[in-house]
Structure 1
Amino acid sequence: MIGLLTFAVAGCGGSSTPAPAPAPEGEATGGGEETVSFDGQLKIGFMAPMTGSEATYGKDMENAAKLAMAEINAKGGVLGKELVMVTGDDACDPQQATAAASKLVSENVVAVVGGYCSGSTLPTVKIYADADIPFVIVAANSTRLIDENVGKAFMINGTGLHQGEKAVELFNRIGAKKLALVHQGDGYSEDLARITQDLWEAAGNEVVAMEVVNKGEQNFSSIVTSIKSKNPDVVYWTAYFADGGLLIKQLRQGGYTGDIVVGDGSNSPQLLEIAGQASEGVYVTTNPLVEYMPVAKEFIDNYKSAYSQEPGPYSALAYDGVYLVADAIERAGSVESAGLIQALADTPEYQGLSGVISFKDDNTLEQSNFVILQAKGGKWELAE
């Protein structure tokens, strides 16, 4: 825990210097006045969508991970070695993710941080496990990942079960009795829809529709007609923002007046832009955002200074993921895989930017980190 707290001070309560420019190999600058010398490098893999429809999320996550590495390196690195990032682009596509993961393995990374889309993260869990490389999964949260895990992957975002429970809590709060679910058939959105269905029906409520749409769909008229005919109190979209924004707009244009809720894959300002006025009042079940975390003010300032933009919804998780790996290496005293994996499993309760992180026996979070936001005036606001 000592090592983790030391790193946390560097990230949350120390120098406000933003991520420094890349230094020559073997050196790092600490605020422009001091040069830190290193005894070699440690490669950390980072995997997220750098291309494709979810690239905005991926780039934001990469930025946050780079910021964490820069802060750690400015304080002397890990075991005297410089952290170096090797990025793999999974494009939220399982086939490309498989190739990207294999490439990271060939780069001899000591750990991997990342994973946004559950569908593309799923096939990589075995690849890293077979190579004895610990994988800190920072965003992907399908419960299918738990089934694939053989003890070498660690999920620091709440699972689909956590999110389903939060969604049901919201449905009860708004007085809903009849629910319509819409997903895209991928590992993340179908998993969340099925979990939510089971929880909702177990509580004695009714699921009146379970609709499936193709990714990239532009015309939701048949879905809107079907949903309206079944008169649900609430519609829960469990997939991603690009298509979710269009569905919301077309639901309202088609005359649906009930509540609309979206899952964390749609937690983006872009969903609000796509949906326009139709987004007013829409809820989202999501991981905690840095703008609602007092402890994250310095991180936000540093991120904006380094990248000239606001951090996104998964920035805190990506940032925490790097610090967890760094701390585990320090506590293990080496990058030997068995010791590093055990050190991650033994992580004591850590108050990261994203919340308290400690793991159950299945390497998922001990406690849920999900919150509820609501769209008001074109932006998300905390609804609880």
Structure 2
Amino acid sequence: MRKSLLSSAVITALVAFSGTAWADMVIGVAGPMTGPNAAFGAQLLKGAEQAAADINAAGGVLGQQIKVVVGDDVSDPKQGISVANKFVGEGVKYVVGHFNSGVSIPASDVYAENGVLQITPASTNPQYTERGLWNTFRTCGRDDQQGTVAGDYIADHFKDAKIAIVHDKTPYGQGLVDVAKKVLNDKGINEVVYEGINSGEKDFSALIAKMKENGVSLIYFGGLHTEAGLIIRQSTDQGLKATLFSGDGMVSSELASIAGDGVVGTLNTFAPDPRRNPAAKDIVERFRASGFEPEAYTLYSYAALQIIAAAIERTGSADDAQKVAEAIKAGGPWKTALGDIGYDAKGDITRPDYVIYEWRKGDDGKPTYFEK
């Protein structure tokens, strides 16, 4: 009997040890995996999955393999909170995501209260990192940087244009245009139209008629490619000859599919193309070999997971995400697919990150965005 009890105890100890030594390290990836912005969700997911695969192939993190679990927020704040609670219930301590600022901000409150560290590859609204939370990081820049670059460019290149400022009423879209508007207004350049649209809206006839009536030749738009593409297409169809200028929400090949040939000449801000970074050469080749083009936020997501993994290694444990957060801020710059990334006390990157792109036809005849 004693022998049997001893064997059971030994077995229990071995199982417990085995579970600790060989358990997967679970990292959540959250974004719009379905719905109109699913192209961006795919970028976040593919980036994180490839990073996990590459890290696992090199031995994992502290001897553990990374397992990616997915949350689909459909770009909806309420669903984003549901995803956050789901991750918390599953014991997830690290999240790459979300995509939309309007989703990342409320989700980050849930994460902060439950010991979860969040790095967004794409949410650019300043309020995400301005609230003093311990857990909020991003690998992208901020709209107060992006909007300033856009406002200065418009003032230098379109100072005599009649400008319409249009946004999609989201924290990202309105936040972006209001920064550019302030830059322009401070320089004595005033818009002739300022309007908000609704995400998911399809018919922009009334807006286009108003812009035509006011002689608009430049539309500065805050929102995503789904609505921007329709505004471009319908403006072309209705005879409004105006350049659309927007932000990083345009960086999807789907924009050209929606907008048609009218997309040529469209401008947007985004970071210098990370696919051209020498640090990402082999990674980009692996993506392309798998049939996925790592445009826009793909490498930003890859870098987010790289930073999490490196900081966990530096800390020596994944158990306390708050300690890992402290290591991220104190331990950079971190080597990533985007190049070296360092952080300030808020969780923002410390390098400038925006340039101007123009949509033109490439050698294959298909429109895409080229750095100016």
Q: Same fold by TM-score, threshold 0.5 exceeded? A: yes
Q: Partner of 1:138 in structure 2?
A: 121
Gaps of 5+ in 1: 1-26, 28-37
Instruction: Say which of 304, 308, 323 aligns to 1:321.
Output: 304
Residues 1:66 and 2:49 are matched in the alignment: yes
The 3-state SS of whatever aligns with 2:191 is strand
Q: What is the alpha-carbon distance in structure 2 between the residues aligned to residue 236 and residue 357 of structure 1?
A: 30
Displacement of 1:355 after TM fit? 4.3
The 1:251/1:215 distance shift into structure 2, 3 A limit, reads same
* TM-score when normalising by structure 1: 0.86
Q: Identity percentage over the alignment? A: 28
1:252-291 pair list within 5 angstroms: 252-291=236-275
Q: Partner of 2:3 in structure 1?
A: none
1:188-267 pair list within 5 angstroms: 188-267=172-251
Please say which structure displays the higher CA radius of gyration: 2
The 1:225/1:211 distance shift into structure 2, 3 A limit, reads same
Q: What is the alpha-carbon distance in structure 2 between the residues aligned to residue 183 and residue 202 of structure 1?
A: 20
Partner letter of residue 179 of structure 1? I
Partner letter of residue 75 of structure 1? A
Deviations 1:202-253 (A, max 9, x none): 2222122211112222211111111122234421111111111110112223
Q: Partner of 2:15 in structure 1?
A: none
Q: What is the alpha-carbon distance in structure 2 between the residues aligned to residue 214 and residue 338 of structure 1?
A: 37
Greater shift in the superposed pair: 49-58 or 365-374: 365-374
Q: Partner of 1:151 in structure 2?
A: 134
The 1:347/1:206 distance shift into structure 2, 3 A limit, reads farther
How many residue pairs were aligned? Answer: 348
Gaps of 5+ in 2: 1-17
Q: Is the 8 A contact 1:122 1:148 kept in 2?
A: no
Q: Partner of 2:95 in structure 1?
A: 112
Instruction: Say which of 71, 92, 95 aligns to 1:88.
Output: 71
Q: What is the alpha-carbon distance in structure 2 between the residues aligned to residue 52 and residue 287 of structure 1?
A: 25
Q: What is the alpha-carbon distance in structure 2 between the residues aligned to residue 333 and residue 250 of structure 1?
A: 55
Displacement of 1:289 after TM fit? 3.1
Q: Is the 8 A contact 1:176 1:234 kept in 2?
A: no
The 1:281/1:95 distance shift into structure 2, 3 A limit, reads same
Instruction: Say which of 80, 89, 95 aligns to 1:97.
Output: 80
Partner letter of residue 347 of structure 2? N
Q: Partner of 2:169 in structure 1?
A: 185
* TM-score when normalising by structure 2: 0.88
Q: What is the alpha-carbon distance in structure 1 between the residues aligned to residue 78 and residue 307 of structure 2?
A: 28
Q: Partner of 1:382 in structure 2?
A: 370
Displacement of 1:167 after TM fit? 0.8
Displacement of 1:71 after TM fit? 0.8
Greater shift in the superposed pair: 84-93 or 366-375: 366-375
The 3-state SS of whatever aligns with 2:79 is helix
The 3-state SS of whatever aligns with 2:158 is coil
Greater shift in the superposed pair: 341-350 or 219-228: 341-350
